[in-house]
């Protein structure tokens, strides 16, 4: 019973961190809407398993809880990968736009100098 309580304490802590990450991803998603990118993320650790784990406290329920943890970990890894790829793409777009801006400034300067 004590080990189950400790496990669920750690799960509650993990849920808190997941909730914070989801909030930050929502803010990130809102920012991405400005540049027409869509990003969907849902990470959830089940609540019914907590009850079953305390009530039954057996190998099968532990295996199911472990499965949920593994699934959440995999989802988190996938989201991190998607965010990393998206940030790389955004950096590349920014660099391209900066180069285009320099080119336009140079062209503007040349036009002004030739008109004098």
C-alpha–C-alpha distance, residues 114 and 4, integer Å: 79
Tell the burial category of 11 from Cβ atoms under 10 Å away from its Cβ (0-12, 13-18, 19+).
Answer: buried
Question: Greatest CA span in the chain, whole angstroms?
Answer: 87
What is the pLDDT averaged over residues 28-39? 67
C-alpha–C-alpha distance, residues 76 and 30, integer Å: 19
For the chain, the domains span 2-115
Residue 41 has pLDDT above 60, yes or no: no
Mean pLDDT of the chain: 76
What is the pLDDT averaged over residues 63-78? 77
pTM: 0.53
CA atoms within 13 A on the CB side of 74: 6
């Amino acid at each position: 019973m004590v080990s189950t309580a400790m496990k669920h304490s750690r799960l509650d802590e993990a849920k808190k961190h997941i909730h914070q990450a989801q909030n930050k991803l929502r803010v990130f998603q809102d920012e991405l809407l400005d540049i027409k990118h869509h990003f969907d993320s849902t990470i959830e650790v089940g609540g019914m398993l907590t009850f079953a784990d305390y009530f039954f406290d057996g190998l099968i329920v532990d295996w199911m809880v472990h499965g949920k943890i593994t699934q959440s970990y995999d989802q988190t890894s996938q989201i991190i990968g998607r965010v990393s790829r998206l940030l790389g793409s955004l950096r590349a777009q920014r660099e391209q736009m900066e180069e285009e801006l320099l080119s336009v400034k140079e062209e503007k300067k040349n036009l002004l100098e030739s008109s004098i």
